[in-house]
Amino acid sequence: MEILQALAALVYCNGSKCQKYLPDLLGKTGLLMKLSDLAQSDPEVRRAAVHCLANLCLSVPGQPYLEEPYQNICFQAFLTTLQSPKSSDMDDITFCMLLQNALRGIQSLLNGGKMKLKQTEELGALLAVLKKSMFHGLPGLNIEMPSVLYPTPLPQYDGRPPVKPQQSESSASRPTVNKKKKSKVKPKKTQQGEDEEESGGEMEAAPVISTCRGNLREGSTRHTSSVGVQGLPLDGSGATGKDRVSSAFSSSSWKRVSSSESDYSDAEGGMQSKMRSYQAKVRQGALACFLSTIKSIEKKVLYGYWSAFVPDTPELGSPQSVSLMTLTLKDPSPKTRACALQVLSAILDGSKQFLSVAEDTSDHRRAFTPFSVMIASSIRELHRCLLLALAAESSSQTLTQIIKCLANLVSNAPYNRLKLSLLTKVWTQIKPYIRHKDVNVRVSSLTLLGAIVSTHAPLPEVQLLLQQPCSSGLSHSSSATPHLSPSDWWKKAPAGPSLEEASVSSPQGSSEPCWLIRLCISTIVLPKEDSCSGSDAGSAAGSTYEPSPMRLEALQVLAHLARGYFSMAQVYLMELGEVICKCMGEADPSIQLHGAKLLEELGTGLTQQYKPDSTIAPDQRVPVFLVVMFWTMMLNGPLPRALQNSEHPTLQASACDALSSILPEAFSSLPNDRQILCITMLLGLNDSKNRLVKAATSRALGVYVLFPCLRQDVIFVADTANAILMSLQDKSLNVRAKAAWSLGNLTDTLIVNMETSDPSFQEEFSGLLLLKMLRSAIEASKDKDKVKSNAVRALGNLLHFLQPSHIEKPRFAEIIEESIQALISTVLIEAAMKVRWNACYAMGNVFKNPALPLGIAPWTSQAYNALTSVVTSCKNFKVRIRSATALSIPNKREQYGSVDQYAQIWDALVTALQKSEDTTDFLEFKYCASLRTQICQALIHLLSLASASDLPCINRTLTLNGDMIQSYILQFLKSGAEEDDTGAPRSPQERDQMVTMALKHLNSVQALAGDTAKRAVVGFLEDTLAIYFDSSG
């Protein structure tokens, strides 16, 4: 024993230095393998050998780890240890220590060794023993497990509920549980020895969970000398009438666990306490190991085992299966309960896609339970159990974990597909905890409220909850106090029976003010309750605020509300402006940063209201004069100082983002010196050495250059162009990507200015700057996709903008050729869809410039060849649509080049029409109709420009594919408006007018001598129109 103890100390974190001794220790006949084997007669020796193995597996960061074969040997040894029952000659405490060592060893392999559990059998066996160990020694629960847990096959889903039958529980994925029902309510606990015992052993890999303080439960004073007295709750809080106390937790069962003090001698009582402490440590070790397992496997693999660890609503008359919630509700150790909640949080984290299939249904007469219904049932049960745990918990640390777990659930559950009331129950039950004495509980409560207002926002259910008066939930009294002003409300709230109040800034006739916004404002700007209660407001200057985490969380909740429920936030606009000014004027950079982020959200909300596609009625929008007042307050306050705060670049970047969210209509109404301040600040910050600041500035300039009041200012546009071109040379990809986006916006502005009746902008804009912009855009088109997609957009706009005076100059000829070659190569390369789509769009923009020599320039055929290649063969249909659109833009026959070039374009479009349903990706099918519409429009456009020399080629195609082409053109004529941005005519009248115009043009064409092609093509169009008019009456 002493030698094994010495060996354990020697190999501790030294596994990488024991390479030459590993065969003797871990080989087939290795010392530790023999001594840790089940056949080992001395239980203490076996425990010590497993301890050595666990220490050997511990790693030190930066040092090499055990080789994979030895990792597998150790893993199998630990797994065998955990799978084996307790031998008759081993006492309970030694067995607990043996299990703890095995669990610690596996955890080290997963954490330090980055061991991957690739085999289903291997993972299933580990999960089975972990589940068994999770409940080790839990009073009143005897669980039998299969040797391996197998995953439930998950259906492939695309956001719609599948109809595949799915058993809610099977012998493979569910453990066999003793037929003992469990109480849904966690019993009250009074374990005097528990916390002292646990304080010595912190859970590895779970630093968030701290040792529970000696926090005795209510009623524990009655049994002060009894160790581990267990009792059911005396009141009904958290339990419903349907909750059953099963035989496993009946009074006789509890007497076996802990009886009155007369049943044991002091020594026996001490042993019982020690025993329970060791068992709790096994459960904690299993949960810590499970947490490491979750981190080492993919989420899609983990969710195959969902039903083995997450509760489901039990069928009527059947017992609830054991799950992580069993520990949360039943475990006597607060630390174990917190560990279980941490594991459940890890499972829920990132589960949004998996849970998105959940759907409630009222149809209970099915022969099977659909997968979507099973997941919805599981979500409901999680809500129910976590709220029960919330009502019954008294440990602040565990309470914090429960609320964090609820926040994770709320962030990932698809409430838009579930029945109402789930969020209402959470909302109602969490309200009292906002005033909890423990700051961590208060912070996590605000986090949960933030999750509720950000999930699938805006939800009608949450909208109603936000409009509730404060008195519902924050106190136990239903009476209401008189309406108080905001500051009075916060000071008098602790003494009053309720917290109902109204906002002084609420306009008459508006809906009830939002109590959550008022709570957050008070949390941020007013002193702590204890510092101002019983004292005059005048002493508040020297008082302290709520702790920083609380204030930061309140700012985040306000930002969520501004993003998802702006109609609520806009009532408090000016007051929130004062809050932002206060926060950004403080010394704490974190408070300043969150203030800036709130400003950005409010600015974005105001801008969204005034967008052309906004559904907000004009009389419901914040008036422009009020928006001007708001931004004047910001610009006269600490925002400019934050923009200049080079010590905190993150704050500077966030302030830039906030400044870019200003409403254009409000910007033009700002005092002239404030407008100049904004522009000067942004142009100055573009020289920043910090990449975060530079990226934010580049983006902000790209927003400002679209403002109607600035876009015709040649000097501002030129200054912005120079600043953006400088950022395009930056080493940071993020800066270059933002600069490219802004360059695209700037060139959009050039096109808008070109389309106005005033030619002065084009005349005054520097040709030299245009050359620089073209060169920079060409270089950027060779960059990464993030930069490339906007670089080609800019190239198309610039080539469209070029005036005849530019094109005539020799120095532009070469750069035009290079620009078009850059576009052609981008159209053809295998890049991201967005890049190729933008390149095709840009090519269409080039074709819109009548001053360019399209049709006679050498690059004409290359450009058309690239587009025809894409329209017939690109896998992405949106790119095909865009290339067909580009092919239909030239409005003169000579722009299509030679007869051969025209014929090649015509044939390619006919081939594209034939292949318009050829795809292996089902997601592309929804674009088939739009693609055919665009190709038909392009074909009709080509017919409306055809010359006599083109007709033989067209006739040849119609002879081969006339029926197919006619059927699609008839579909085109009959189809209504479609949601696309290709510019295709929307109404059937416009479409048949296109065909009529093409027919009229063909009739006017002078046919070649002896050529019958004209008659055939004209006959084809006449037949098509006749069929269409006959069918439409």
- Give the 3-state secondary structure of residue 231: strand
**Residue 200 CB coordination number (10 Å):** 9
CB 683 within 8 A of CB 719: yes
CB 909 within 8 A of CB 939: yes
* DSSP 8-state assignment for residue 663: -
CB 363 within 8 A of CB 348: no
Cβ partners under 8 Å of residue 856, min gap 6:
894, 897
pLDDT at 248: 35
Q: How far apart are CA 708 and CA 249, in angstroms?
A: 73
Sign of the C-alpha dihedral, residues 801, 806, 811, 814? positive
The verdict on pTM exceeding 0.85 is no
Q: How far apart are CA 780 and CA 794, in angstroms?
A: 10
pLDDT at 762: 87
Q: How far apart are CA 929 and CA 936, in angstroms?
A: 11
pLDDT at 760: 86
Helices vs strands, H then E, count in the chain: 49, 4
Cβ partners under 8 Å of residue 947, min gap 6:
893, 899, 1005
- Cα 854 off chain centre by: 46
pLDDT at 268: 63
pLDDT at 1033: 62
pLDDT at 169: 37
Cβ partners under 8 Å of residue 20, min gap 6:
none
pLDDT at 876: 87
**CA-based radius of gyration for the chain:** 36
Residue 308 corresponds to which tokens in the numbers above?
């083995």
- Give the 3-state secondary structure of residue 169: coil
Closest C-alpha among 540, 548, 623, 636 to residue 586: 548
What count of Cα atoms within 13 Å lies in the side-chain half-sphere of residue 561? 31
- Cα 930 off chain centre by: 30
Closest C-alpha among 309, 452, 443, 317 to residue 385: 309
Report mean pLDDT in 10-residue bins for the chain, 1033 residues. Answer: 67 66 65 68 78 78 73 84 84 89 89 76 90 88 82 56 38 38 39 37 36 35 33 35 34 31 53 89 94 90 90 71 90 94 95 90 66 90 95 94 96 92 94 92 96 92 86 41 36 34 37 82 84 36 75 97 94 95 93 96 96 91 96 95 94 96 96 95 94 97 96 95 96 96 96 87 90 96 94 96 90 93 93 92 95 92 95 90 95 93 95 80 72 92 93 91 90 68 64 88 81 87 88 73
DSSP 171-203: TTTS-EE-S----SSPPEEE-TTHHHHHTT-PP
Closest C-alpha among 216, 179, 162 to residue 319: 179
Q: How far apart are CA 534 and CA 795, in angstroms?
A: 68
**Residue 720 CB coordination number (10 Å):** 27
Phi and psi, residue 88, nearest 5°: -65, -25
Amino acid letter at 145? M
Binning the chain into helix, strand and coil, the percentages to the nearest 5 are 65, 0, 35
Sign of the C-alpha dihedral, residues 159, 162, 167, 172? negative
